Amino acid sequence: MSIESDLQAFIASEVVADGASGVGLEEPLVRSGRIDSMGLLQILGFVQQRYGVDLSATGGPSDFETVASLAAAIRRSRGDR
């Protein structure tokens, strides 16, 4: 499973409360209103537990915009190519 699909599955099952099916790779997470600050904290906790990356310490605001940007930040923090 890719980082993107892993994030999408987690967000759809644990974070998004509007009952819609999933979240797109390039869909704005917070700006769309589908994810609030508590949801963002859930995602950060998941990323830290699953990937050993603390994006709250190493990430910038643009890293939290979409699933794709979150995955890129995880790869960058882990030194993946």
* 23-33 residue pLDDT tens: 889 999 988 88
Number of domain units in the chain: 1
- Quote the Cα angle for 50-6-40, to 5°: 70
CATH number at residue 51: 1.10.1200.10
Give the type of residue at 79: G
Position 18 confidence tier, pLDDT thresholds 50, 70, 90: low
The pLDDT of residue 22 is above 80: no
Contacts of 3 (CB under 8 A, 6+ apart): 51, 71, 74, 75
Tens of pLDDT, residues 31-76: 888 888 899 999 999 999 999 999 988 888 899 999 999 999 999 9
Structural domain boundaries enclosing 65: 3-78
The pLDDT of residue 20 is above 80: no
